[in-house]
Amino acid sequence: MTGNILCHRVRPPQGDTVITVRGVQGEPAIPADPARGKVWSAIAEAVRRRLAEDRLKEALTHPQ
């Protein structure tokens, strides 16, 4: 089974780039709690890390 996950924030586009997370392997087994599965947890961590990097870049670029 394959699938795509599209996430967005309610705001105007910031550019022409769309960041995607791709993988060819799924969960090793169906998790009891899908929100805590290995694949979803890895995606969520990657998004958190990217958002943290974006916020740091913004703070460094536009200091208060």
**What digits encode the pLDDT tens for the residues 14-45?**
788 777 766 667 888 889 998 899 888 888 88
CA angle 56/61/62 to nearest 5° reads: 100
Confidence at residue 32, expressed as pLDDT on a 0 to 100 scale: 93
* 33 HSE (CA, 13 A, CB side): 3
Confidence at residue 2, expressed as pLDDT on a 0 to 100 scale: 58
pLDDT at 1 over 80: no
* 7: phi then psi, degrees, rounded to nearest 5: -120, 150
Amino acid type, 26:
G
Confidence at residue 42, expressed as pLDDT on a 0 to 100 scale: 84
* 60: phi then psi, degrees, rounded to nearest 5: -70, -30
pLDDT tens figures, 52-64: 888 888 888 876 6
